[in-house]
Structure 1
């Protein structure tokens, strides 16, 4: 942490598609004195994403792209990222897959949080698959984004016990609580090791 003292906060963009609960926890984290990031931009592919309300509440710039034409949307996003001097991207429930070219331009500067203990259960419907396979443990993973789905280098993981009473929804809630703690820790870890 000592390295961060006196340094300017890293300008960060958060990409969302839904409720934005990880966005909210990252915003609150960014406002704390010890946080190495400042959230300057919220990007979404969904104009109805509940998380966009947080942009208004916390007075953060927001941009919405429909992704009907991925390369056009990405071109505009890259321009916005440059204009806002963004140095770090955190994907938080962003339901679009970014192109190899986009990822290459931000290599090592895009993080994602996934609700499983990667490399297990990449992709969607994670919690239902965990329950169906009667796993004893699940959890969440913050990882770097590369061109393969949920396959980038792991930064941090948190293990969560699956109880016999859990269903996909209760497991989701249990893991989400841990995601909110893990994402800020992962951000601190990578930014103090720069």
Structure 2
């Protein structure tokens, strides 16, 4: 079911836990004339997330929830529906959403992950790729389902692992690609 119709932009929420570099990239993308999205809300599970500063800079509504139980998730769902949010982008969001939360937005939640899925789900992806002497790592945007980093892949970008890469140097290069990949993945996901 395609969410895009004509020139209408779709209201999205971006969920973050940290610095918000992908959020910042998505905000810049949302400001482009050809962009299909309007970022109406930024949601975090972390009061100290540096990325929340972008809400102030760009005057976007922000909310912080602890995501500790179904009651807090119900509050999040209420806020999303109240603000007419139709699509969710997880961008460095370090909480696992419950099955019932995902059901409320079935096929309308996507995530960016720093590996070439299905390889290296979860954390420490750069370390795993280097330790296993992989030639490539990269990033993947995928739909979110109830299994960790297992939803249908929308798109991926390979990044060559250099001989002297550390997890930090590899992470920096992958992040540059994430900023390009995520907007393209949103356009693709909204047209599916």
For the aligned pair, the TM-score class normalised by the smaller chain equals: over 0.9
Separation in 2 of the partners of 1:70 and 1:127?
30
Q: How far does residue 73 in structure 1 lie from its aligned partner after superposition?
A: 1.2
Deviation string, structure 1 residues 62-96 (Cα, Å, up to 9, x no partner): 000122x3211100000000001000000000000
Q: 2:147 corresponds to which residue?
A: 148
Separation in 2 of the partners of 1:48 and 1:186?
28
Separation in 2 of the partners of 1:77 and 1:120?
31
Equivalent residue runs for 1:90-169 within 5 Å: 90-169=89-168
Moved over 3 A (4+): 3-6
Q: 1:26 corresponds to which residue?
A: 26
Separation in 1 of the partners of 2:100 and 2:4?
31
Separation in 1 of the partners of 2:69 and 2:56?
26
**CA 4–150 in structure 1, closer or farther in 2 if over 3 Å, else same:** closer
Q: How far does residue 192 in structure 1 lie from its aligned partner after superposition?
A: 2.9
Equivalent residue runs for 1:63-74 within 5 Å: 63-67=63-67, 69-74=68-73
Q: How far does residue 4 in structure 1 lie from its aligned partner after superposition?
A: 6.2
Deviation string, structure 1 residues 93-144 (Cα, Å, up to 9, x no partner): 0000000000011010000000000000000011011111111000000000
Q: 1:177 aligned to 2:176?
A: yes
Separation in 2 of the partners of 1:44 and 1:6?
31
Q: How far does residue 22 in structure 1 lie from its aligned partner after superposition?
A: 0.3
Give the RMSD, CA atoms, in angstroms.
Answer: 1.3
The answer on whether the counterparts of 2:4 and 2:10 sit within 8 Å (CA) in structure 1 is no
Separation in 1 of the partners of 2:97 and 2:139?
21
TM-score in terms of structure 1 length: 0.95
Separation in 2 of the partners of 1:34 and 1:25?
15
What is the number of equivalent residue pairs in this alignment?
Answer: 190
Q: 2:8 corresponds to which residue?
A: 8
Deviation string, structure 1 residues 170-190 (Cα, Å, up to 9, x no partner): 000000000000000000112
Separation in 1 of the partners of 2:4 and 2:156?
23
In structure 2, runs of 5+ residues without a counterpart are none
Q: 1:17 aligned to 2:14?
A: no
